[in-house]
Structure 1
């Protein structure tokens, strides 16, 4: 059982992450790759990734558990791979040793390579660097546009639940078996884990690669990072096809624009992402706005656009 003991300040500082973290998603993917239980959505994905994963990336599997655990230094919630790798490689020896000892106590083997990592051996950490880079290139890089689209659709939906139904609905809906006991959030977990928060807040971070219980990790700024399975995991987020009902309804360009606008975009940003002129992007936004699917607001010289509740509902039903 996972028990998160919150203060009122923590609950007043619940936020939703604004972007996916590539190394967090890589860690989740490597954990899900090792699962052999009832997650049929991921079965074809597992077979495909197992065939294509380069041997250079295999050392990661010595560090992360199919239970959803990994050394905390391995998957910092950084915005890009380069920044994340810098953080991984700068891990102090004491922290690396403590995290590797924790993982071996859970279910990871104490191999000679893991011992060398704990000793901050240069060659061992070079192997880790190459493994992370190879894993990212093989599993994350090609899927990154779909990961981003799925992440932003999920966080827009979760933010709407938070705004319309309140904190209780937003948190208890993250995963099955979540309940409140006073100021303590309880959730099913493979082992007993008690976390006591100290008013820094909680950030909700969906993962498109995880399909099980709630996961918790400390954020570098002191917040608690709650990682939960996105409603629509990556294997169900196939690229749009002509049979896509949303595309059939509003056209391919406007369907793409609506999916982009689960996050705020200026007209210039929208034009760039759609690969059209600003005038064409403005026209597409006007049609979506007049249909009630987006709203627009001017800020100085910039015009910002984002989805309405109706637009989010249309995207949600399209995914269904």
Structure 2
């Protein structure tokens, strides 16, 4: 059973993640590949086993089917390259501690695993090649669908939070969740007890994990509560139906509205949509005039965000997800000796 002990400060600091985390999803994808128990991922697993190259397989030596780590493999960074930099800079003491926690050092299945704890250069190069090959074969092409599914989940979950409150939202992440005083319990999961310290919790949906929620404490920051999105990646692969939002607003404005389920600047929208800043400003003005987004200026920066009407339009144009009710992340310092 996973028991998460909240303080009042933690409950006041619960929020949704801004972006999906590539290395987090990669680790969950590889663990889902090993689980063999979820029928939703049956065809995906068969396809993944076929395309996963031999150079990607060493990282599987480090992962179990329980989602319990080691935590240094999946930092919650917004980019894959940034995430790999963070993995490489993990202090050796943290590496050894995590490998011992998941018992990878007690019963090593491969000699290179012990080399990670000893800061062996060839072992770390092997890990980097393995993770890069795994990401390329399993997630690189699927990442636009992962992002789209993530944004739809966050928009829907935020509306659920506004309508039903924090209690229903947190227990709604798992059918077996329950509150016991200030403790949130997720049975049946791995046996772990975590006491939060007031830094808060970030809810991070995963499109590649369908089991129980996972909690990942972060040094000096809020803990991550990773939970399965209502619509996992294999269902995102279903043949697309005509998009009524595109038909109503046009492709660019529909894409912009969906991006604005999280706050973006005008220049950020231009980069994300591959259009010029003046074009992004013009399209944003059209959406603002229609009361679908709101705009706020801070100094020279202009930020945009969906209104409730805009979120309702996105929700109405998305296939029903059902009702489960009953920033940038920083990097770590360079690896130092234990």
Q: Please report the TM-score for the alignment, with normalisation by the length of structure 2.
A: 0.83
In structure 2, what is the Cα distance between the partners aligned to 1:276 and 1:7?
A: 45
Report if aligned partners of 1:64, 1:108 keep a CA contact under 8 Å in 2: no
| Number of aligned residue pairs | 319
Report if aligned partners of 2:174, 2:213 keep a CA contact under 8 Å in 1: yes
Is it true that 1:19 corresponds to 2:19 in the alignment? Answer: yes
Aligned to 1:53: 52
* Alignment CA distance shift 1:229-1:100 (3 Å): same
Counterparts of 1:281-320 in structure 2 under 5 Å?
A: 281-300=280-299, 302-320=301-319
* Alignment CA distance shift 1:200-1:295 (3 Å): closer
In structure 2, what is the Cα distance between the partners aligned to 1:264 and 1:297?
A: 10
Report if aligned partners of 2:38, 2:210 keep a CA contact under 8 Å in 1: no
Deviates more, 1:173-182 or 1:248-257: 248-257
In structure 2, what is the Cα distance between the partners aligned to 1:243 and 1:56?
A: 39
* Alignment CA distance shift 1:27-1:108 (3 Å): farther
Q: What is the deviation of 1:130?
A: 0.9
* Alignment CA distance shift 1:278-1:125 (3 Å): closer
* Alignment CA distance shift 1:235-1:12 (3 Å): same
Aligned to 2:190: 191
Deviates more, 1:304-313 or 1:15-24: 304-313
- RCO higher in structure (CA 8 A, sep ≥6): 2
Is it true that 1:33 corresponds to 2:33 in the alignment? Answer: yes
Is it true that 1:3 corresponds to 2:3 in the alignment? Answer: yes
Report if aligned partners of 1:271, 1:277 keep a CA contact under 8 Å in 2: yes
Deviates more, 1:260-269 or 1:180-189: 260-269
In structure 2, what is the Cα distance between the partners aligned to 1:166 and 1:177?
A: 18
Q: What is the deviation of 1:3?
A: 0.7
Deviates more, 1:108-117 or 1:229-238: 108-117
Aligned to 1:140: 139
Report if aligned partners of 2:74, 2:87 keep a CA contact under 8 Å in 1: yes
In structure 2, what is the Cα distance between the partners aligned to 1:113 and 1:269?
A: 41
Q: What is the deviation of 1:112?
A: 2.7
SS at match of 1:166: helix
Q: What is the deviation of 1:192?
A: 1.9
Q: What is the deviation of 1:181?
A: 0.7
Report if aligned partners of 2:9, 2:200 keep a CA contact under 8 Å in 1: yes
SS at match of 1:198: coil
SS at match of 1:223: strand
Which blocks of at least 5 consecutive residues in structure 2 are unaligned? 320-338
Q: What is the deviation of 1:168?
A: 0.9
Counterparts of 1:116-135 in structure 2 under 5 Å?
A: 116-135=115-134
Report if aligned partners of 2:66, 2:190 keep a CA contact under 8 Å in 1: no
1:22-48, CA deviations, whole angstroms, 9 ceiling, x for partnerless residues?
A: 2111111111111211341x2222222
Counterparts of 1:61-80 in structure 2 under 5 Å?
A: 61-80=60-79
Deviates more, 1:78-87 or 1:23-32: 78-87
Give me the CA root mean square deviation.
2.8
Q: What is the deviation of 1:104?
A: 3.3
SS at match of 1:3: strand
SS at match of 1:76: coil
Report if aligned partners of 1:62, 1:108 keep a CA contact under 8 Å in 2: no
Aligned to 1:226: 225
